[in-house]
Structure 1
């Protein structure tokens, strides 16, 4: 199967209208317009807010093979000189979700007129970047009547050439957990520290102590990263601050390590409260950003197929500390996620990220062949 230029054009039209998670109204309308142009005989469409699920009925329908694409953009000011650069100020498809959507539309277009034995389900999911749309639509029951027996997805990778696919068995991406901390004590004059309760000092001790989680609580053979990205406190150099706040992220390769790290953060908070006689409000929010753990059976079948198929450069990938809410599906449904090379000098989330569009027909052809074999019980 081969589909080309129409889907490159769709990518460009989608690139014009990036929207933040759960606000993808124009994107939703655009996708629905393209889906409704397809032969409807074997299609069943369901929507919720900006999410869309399309079931393609198989001739037997014994199993359901799922394909997921994310549809949201990022709060990034685009710095490309593309003729189809974003028309939404301060918004950009800097993570390649426009490419993901055009590929999904290409796959859906093909299967709408090429019936397979098993059912196929295409999930156009909102809010991957900000609030874990995967968790929202799964937990809401939106997928209950369309639940896949196995599920697949891809993500563009700028530093791989077009024509390359890559993945691995086990953890491909880390799980993430947001850290939000507020320190509340008693402010006062800098000349009278004994009458105050300095939350800058308390916050500083917290910063130092949580880094010891990695060096002293985590197995050195396992990966964990704790980063604090913001700190806000104080109003003047001669005033002791009675308030401080921090935000950051925890990234781990397993759910078990995430639970351990979060518990150690809670333990440290209790100690800081006692040591500095203050109140600390801690919020650890993992949401749906579980580690992306590729199931062995499905992933080995994918790797075996792609390594033997002509026209593909397959690459074994290393685990990365980036996060993806596709891990929430994989925690419940066997499947795999893989990288798609798009050959760009700028990385994901960069304001000049410009994927090579030749990756779109390449993915539609080769991923489509894989899904067709799966849905026809030939793999």
Structure 2
């Protein structure tokens, strides 16, 4: 039998207790494999890559493959929920709800392990969404091989939506992100003799100030972008001129074109600051696989139509968000759709208090099973 709601909630709580950072999800992988291997294996084939798991479900026809992806990693956050099934791993927590993501994926898979799908399905349990572009690593490694989907779907839980609500939109759902790491290197010296030093507090401050013009003067106001510098470290004490400054931040944009444009402006400004202050610059703009999550028009139209017209589904059209997700890299390679699953919590994603409403799990499972069945009839 397909896993029941009670069994799924129990699994979610087990997963919640063993959060692991990206590419270290060994205990998580072992538990997921145990559950998957307990399902009927007639139509299943399983393979692993590092801490990832791929499950191929053989359909009645083999000329098309629908993919479903879940992330499996956690965050370096100390849990403060007080739940009886709180994290057993100090300093680590499923504060982004990936335990919910995994459980929904397992629920969908358990159904199709019992009911042969019309077309092939590929389930991807992907590591390192939070910290190391696990989707990009997995795709670029070529490990999916013949299991590579023709289209792909995935969800992210949303604390602001009622439990079980499905949220989606055409176009960009999540922004693309890029890390900024700028190191300005000058010359330290005595505060009383500035002419003998090269002050990187002043250089860094100029960089911080000029960066603020990028979104206001280089990005179309109708479109959207964010440049935030959240870390500035320079100097050791008040009467010593700082010989270096480390500044770190992030870029967010709703299209890859704008993300690259903002990156170009950050680089140009940093290089100009370095030239003007006659200092050395070490600049790392790291995007990795965190492309904008741009939903495919065709798959998303089908998805939204099903969710809107299914009485059991509570559907909402949602605005784009500036959060990042490496599913964007997979969507740049494979047509597909990402959607929100409401989990009704007063706390935000990444909060140490996040406690998703588990009633969302079965609703998410049922909605996706129904959509996949409908989508297969459209394809065939």
Distance, in Å, in 2 between the alignment partners of 1:48 and 1:157 is 29
Matches within 5 A, 1:282-293: 282-293=283-294
Name the counterpart of 1:155.
Answer: 156
Name the counterpart of 2:183.
Answer: 182
Is the 8 Å Cα contact of residues 8 and 361 (structure 2) preserved in structure 1? yes
Name the counterpart of 1:332.
Answer: 333
Name the counterpart of 1:120.
Answer: 121
Distance, in Å, in 1 between the alignment partners of 2:266 and 2:231 is 17
1:128-163 deviation digits (Å, cap 9, x = unpaired): 001110000001111222100000001110111123
SS in 2 for 1:272: helix
Superposition CA RMSD, Å: 1.2
Distance, in Å, in 1 between the alignment partners of 2:33 and 2:88 is 20
Distance, in Å, in 2 between the alignment partners of 1:186 and 1:80 is 47
Name the counterpart of 2:107.
Answer: 106
1:73-123 deviation digits (Å, cap 9, x = unpaired): 111100011110000000000111001111111111110110012100000
- In structure 1, list runs of 5 or more residues that go unmatched: none
Distance, in Å, in 2 between the alignment partners of 1:366 and 1:216 is 43
Distance, in Å, in 2 between the alignment partners of 1:215 and 1:16 is 44
Name the counterpart of 2:29.
Answer: 28
Name the counterpart of 1:58.
Answer: 59
Distance, in Å, in 1 between the alignment partners of 2:227 and 2:170 is 25
Name the counterpart of 2:80.
Answer: 79
SS in 1 for 2:62: coil
Distance, in Å, in 2 between the alignment partners of 1:149 and 1:310 is 28
Name the counterpart of 1:227.
Answer: 228
Is the 8 Å Cα contact of residues 3 and 107 (structure 2) preserved in structure 1? no
- In structure 2, list runs of 5 or more residues that go unmatched: none
Distance, in Å, in 2 between the alignment partners of 1:28 and 1:116 is 25
Distance, in Å, in 1 between the alignment partners of 2:315 and 2:100 is 20
Corresponding pairs, count: 379
Runs of 4+ in 1 over 2 A off after TM superposition: 375-379
TM-score with structure 1 setting the length: 0.98
SS in 1 for 2:123: strand
Distance, in Å, in 1 between the alignment partners of 2:148 and 2:239 is 60
Deviation at 1:373, TM superposition (A): 2.1
Distance, in Å, in 2 between the alignment partners of 1:13 and 1:69 is 17
Name the counterpart of 2:132.
Answer: 131
TM-score with structure 2 setting the length: 0.98
Name the counterpart of 1:263.
Answer: 264
Deviation at 1:214, TM superposition (A): 1.1
1:258-301 deviation digits (Å, cap 9, x = unpaired): 11111111111221111100011100000000000001111011
Deviation at 1:376, TM superposition (A): 4.2
